[in-house]
Amino acid sequence: MKCDLLVIGSGPGGYRAAVLAALRGLSAVIVEKATWGGCCLNRGCVPKKDWYHSARILNAARRFSKRGIAGALHGDLAQAWRHQRQVVAAVRDSYQSYLKRLGVTALSGQARFEDPHTVVVEPDGTRISPRAVIIATGSTPHVPDGCAVIPGRILHSDLLFDEPVPEGARVVIVGGGVVALEFAYILRAFGREVVWLARQDPFARADFSAPAMKLLRSAMSDAGLVPVRAGVRAVAATAAGVSVTTTGNEVMVADWVLLATGRRPVTAGLDPARAGLNLDAGGHIAVDDEMRAAAGVYAIGDCVAGPMTANRALYEAGVAVDNIVAPGSHKRDLARVPEALYSAIELARVGLTEDQAEDQGHEPGVGFAAFESSPRALGQDAPEGYVRLIADQESGALLGGEVLGAEAGELIHMLTASPSVGALRRIAGAAFNHPSRCEEFQNAVETLAAKWNLGQYVFGGAGDGPRGA
């Protein structure tokens, strides 16, 4: 079989790569060895955000009575699990139908390189000779030493979506990363007693500001979620439940345990050396800034070093396809890719932090607008959070931004859709629906301009040169 592009892996990056190729007139084949849609659709962002939405409703219900909404709500985690499965199935059906309509050939099986120009799909032995290959094989949960996965008792995050949630009320969550932060909040909202173990401080995240981490820590504490700073020495199933021994030799007993201890790239079975691919010490495929791993072979998403997010995989799919269609046309810039965290308070960011801006030779200025005075936020009983912008004082270029509060993951797109130079003027000159949360971006820009004397870049007038266009 011959084709212009072979995509290995059907997660968000692989799916988008196949779609973009087909829309540009390339013949595309996509191969998946497991569940179509990859981690994001089946065991990650899609079902997790479904649960998160329900968790936010349950927490918001505490304020319903003053809005004239009477009655009590309680969480049913078993039904929530069934609901996310229905959502996933609907999305998967739509996704596969779209690939079929575009003429993308979908094959099930394990793809492996026979040589740099030939891929074999097992078990049926289909041989494919593509003009280019994009590897998008994703990642798998990491299970630390001293732990063994036991369905219904000791789970990693994939199992939490694959099988009904255990019925026990007391759960120990192990990990200090995003998955632990998000599931601690979700499970607590559904009435579970959560004990949260984290070897590292889960609120020490360099890419978010200190004020953001302070607000997150406070919101988690208000929800009864204060991490125990300890690692795990051993986890074992017992007649009474699950026994967890910490690195401080404290023994805890729970009904079940969730291991949220990171993920590892998937390259097993690919025979990457046959294609001339190099792996780093963490098992990631090494790529250049055009996502090229070897001549005619590209890699994107979790199998490449970087933030393990669907956002990055989707963005890198565009970079790779651009460079297949027009070699050298698109270089990766991860500063353009937003990150979001969905927990007791929603956080999102994009671009450079102040420290990163200074390291790159910029002189950063900060603009700020809080939601506590937003009519829309007050009307939603959700005044927590803010918009925070970082700009270069020399050029007026927008360098980065951060949003905390309700719908932060949506609002951050106010900053990702516009190039850095001229972005402040476009926001300042835009017309906004009132009242809306988006208005706070305009307020933050105006504050930034006044505080750092950037009026010429925001409002026009003298000094408005090409860089301010």
- Please answer whether residues 3 and 128 qualify as being in contact, where contact means their C-beta atoms are separated by less than 8 angstroms: yes
The span from the CA of 452 to the CA of 81, in Å, is 50
Cis-peptide into 435, omega within 30 deg:
yes
Helix, strand and coil content of the chain, in percent to the nearest 5, comes to 35, 25, 40
The span from the CA of 341 to the CA of 409, in Å, is 8
What sign has the CA pseudo-torsion 22, 24, 27, 32?
Answer: negative
The span from the CA of 325 to the CA of 36, in Å, is 26
The span from the CA of 183 to the CA of 342, in Å, is 9
Strand boundaries in 34-93, DSSP class E: none
Question: Could you tell me which of 321, 345, 344, 342 has the C-alpha nearest to residue 332?
Answer: 321
The span from the CA of 203 to the CA of 206, in Å, is 9
Type and span of the H or E element at 159 = helix 157-162
Residues near 97 by beta carbon (within 8 Å), at least 6 away in sequence: none
- Please answer whether residues 138 and 303 qualify as being in contact, where contact means their C-beta atoms are separated by less than 8 angstroms: yes
The span from the CA of 448 to the CA of 450, in Å, is 6
Residues near 136 by beta carbon (within 8 Å), at least 6 away in sequence: 7, 8, 9, 10, 11, 13, 14, 17, 38, 299, 300, 301, 303, 313, 317
What sign has the CA pseudo-torsion 33, 35, 36, 42?
Answer: negative
Catalytic option among 74, 83, 156, 434 = 434
The span from the CA of 122 to the CA of 104, in Å, is 19
Residue 238: strand pairing partners = 241
Residue 118: strand pairing partners = 115
142 in active site = no
The first and second tokens of residue 30, run together, are 């996509």
* Catalytic residue ranges: 434
